[in-house]
Each structure stands twice: as structure tokens, then as C-alpha cells.
Amino acid sequence: MPTETIASVVANGVVAAPVPVADTAGPMAEHPDRALLLSGEDTGERVAIHCEATSFDAATADLRSVAALRIRGARILTSQRLVLGFWPTEPAEPALSRLLAFIGNRPLIGYYLDFTVAMLDRLVQPTVGMALPNQRIEVSSLYYGRKSKLPGKYAVDLRLDSILRDLDLPPRVGDDACAGALAAAMVYLRLEPPQP
């Protein structure tokens, strides 16, 4: 089963990644990215992911950009970040293929992750033949789980910027997908530090 190697990823670059050969042999044939997503390899890594879209309605919005960051131990590998732009006039497959290679079988971490994954699934489902199977970790629910244990009658403020402020993390610089992914990664590491 051919698996795509993880090419060196260039920040923000538009790269002509190899287009996966469209499978025409029949519905039973498997898309090569499928094996990547379902591989049993344990990298110990996680991927923080965030997207920008034209609206917050996952059914109708258009995807604009996706940013993904790998997390290894206590480190956020910002130097190897992947930022992809999507345009309605361009085919999404090359970018999607790079994204799936970057993610692999790693658990996904994000803020409002369901929306990001729903947006991606609209692209992944038709090409790969299944929705993203990765484990999902929603940082706002990690935060809520921690806050709701404390006695108090106030509602928990779940806005991302409020969470950052409350956890004494640096504020987002800009509000692009990349800043969102970095914020989610930091919140995750602060709330779920790696065990020594």
C-alpha cells in the first residue's frame, strides 16, 4: 500500500504536491490517504488545527485557510507549521493531501474543533471515502472541565481570548488560522502537560 511521505513543509508556501491518483477502479478500492489516517504507528505527537471560513455554518461556509501545528512532548513545533490556502477556483486535492500527510493518525486538538473537522470532512469524505477518524480534543471543554470543578456561581467564559488571559498565556497575534492553532496548542499543553 503506497503511503505518501511527509515532504518538507514550507510555511505558507503554495506547493505543487503530488496529486493522489484518483481511484477509478470501483467503490471498494481504497484511497492511499486512508491508510495514512488509519495507520497504527504511535508517533506520540498531536496536531493542533484551526481554520478560517466564510461563515460559521459548517454546511454552507467556504473554507479559506487551514493551519496545523504538531505538538511533541511539551513542544509546539512552530518551525514546521503547515498553513494552507483554499480558493473556490482552485482544486482542493493537492492541499488536502498535504494536510492529511501532516496529520496522519495523530489526535487533533482545537478550539471549536467540531467546526474545523466538519469543514474538512466536506472535502475528505468525497476524496478518501470516509470522515476524519482521528481522536479529537476540544480545548474549551478541557478548560470547562477544569473550571466547573471550582466552586462559584458564575458561568465559565469560554471565549478563546478569555481562556488565554485566564491561563496567563500570551494573547493571539492577529486572528488568522495560524494564531488560532497556536492558541489551542498552548491551552492544551497548559491544561494537559505531558507526563514525565
**Binding site residues, another protein, CB under 8 A:** 11, 74-79, 81, 167-170, 173, 178-179, 182, 185-186, 189-190, 193, 195-196
- Residues sharing a CB contact under 8 Å with residue 148, sequence separation 6 or more, in sequence order: 156
Please, what is the minimum distance in Å from the beta carbon of residue 13 to another protein? 12
Shortest Å, Cβ 69 to another protein:
9
- Please tell me the distance from the alpha carbon of residue 170 to that of residue 185, in angstroms, as a whole number: 12
Question: DSSP label at 79?
Answer: G
Instruction: With CA atoms as reference, report the closest residue to 111 among 154, 67, 152.
Output: 67
Nearer to another protein, 123 or 182 (CB): 182
| Cβ distance to another protein smaller for residue 17 or 184 | 184
State which residue, 41 or 168, has the beta carbon closest to another protein. 168
Question: Which residue from 163, 123, 162 is spatially nearest to 142, judged by alpha carbons?
Answer: 163
Q: In the complex with another protein, which residue's Cβ is closer, 20 or 180?
A: 180
- CB 105 → another protein: shortest distance, Å? 22
Residue 132 has φ and ψ, to the nearest 5°, of -65, 120
**Residue 177 Cβ vs another protein, minimum distance, rounded to whole Å:** 11
Amino acid present at 170? P
In terms of DSSP bridges, do strands 63-72 and 45-53 run parallel, antiparallel, or are they unpaired? antiparallel
- Output 95 or 184, the one with its CB closest to another protein: 184
Rounded least distance, CB 73 to another protein, Å? 9
Instruction: Give the ranges where 1-138 is alpha helix by DSSP (H).
Output: 32-38, 93-103, 113-128
